[in-house]
Copies of this chain bind each other. A is one copy, B any other.
Amino acid sequence: MATLANCIVMMDEGIDRVGELVPQMPAAEARMCRLMLMLGATIDRELEAKLKPNKLNHSEFLTLMILYSRPDGSSTPGELCEFTTQGATNMTRIANALVKRALITRGSSKDDRRRVLIRITPAGRRFVQKVLPPMFPQVGAMFTGFSAGDMRQFDRLLRKLAGNLDQLGEQRLP
């Protein structure tokens, strides 16, 4: 099996070596960047594995969770696209899949009949309440050994990084 630790060792050596060949490279930043990519992908795989027994994939899960988290349990395809960073094409497919399983309903909005109103059903709520708790242990285990201070720091640093990424994105689409 390819342990994350192995990959990291190898990545560290790789960056050192590339840093010798291309000295202008911001090595420390590149390292962080790769770490974020590796960990993000790993967590993604972990989550996907947890969801598979329930015949859900990541974007379907996310969509369902957003609806579940809304006080009125409803949203629109456009809004869901925005927050799940999915294309409209895919959101239609996701909605189709969730409607077929009766976890959500699709209806047209009263005041703007172009809009489609997507709403989580009682069965959808029950489904979330069944699916969610079994993933708590893993989520907790990811942060064993993190002190309260560690969590605060981590949160701060991730949000700071998010801010930088936003700026970086803006200047690419001017």
By a beta-carbon cutoff of 8 Å, the part of chain A in contact with chain B is: 1-8, 10-11, 13-15, 17-18, 21-22, 24-26, 28-33, 35-44, 46-47, 49, 65-66, 68-71, 81-83, 85, 129, 132-133, 136, 138-146, 150-151, 153-155, 157-170, 172-173
Check B145–A164 contact: CB distance below 8 A.
yes
Write out the residue numbers on chain B whose beta carbons fall within 8 Å of the beta carbon of A3: 166, 169-170
In the assembled complex, the CB of A17 is this many whole angstroms from the nearest CB of chain B, namely 5
Sample of 8 further A-B pairs with CB below 8 A, known A6-B83, A24-B136 = A10-B83, A28-B155, A33-B139, A35-B158, A38-B162, A43-B165, A142-B164, A143-B161
Check B142–A5 contact: CB distance below 8 A.
no
| Copies of the protein in its oligomer | 2
In the assembled complex, the CB of A73 is this many whole angstroms from the nearest CB of chain B, namely 11
Write out the residue numbers on chain B whose beta carbons fall within 8 Å of the beta carbon of A24: 133, 136
Determine which of B17, B47, B141 lies in contact with A71 in the assembled complex, contact meaning CB atoms within 8 Å.
B17
A130 CA to B162 CA, complexed, in Å:
28
Check B153–A39 contact: CB distance below 8 A.
no
A25 CA to B40 CA, complexed, in Å:
21
In the assembled complex, the CB of A169 is this many whole angstroms from the nearest CB of chain B, namely 7
The residue on B at minimum CB distance from A33 is B139
Instruction: Answer whether A157 and B153 are a contact pair too, CB < 8 Å, given A37-B47, A139-B29.
Output: yes
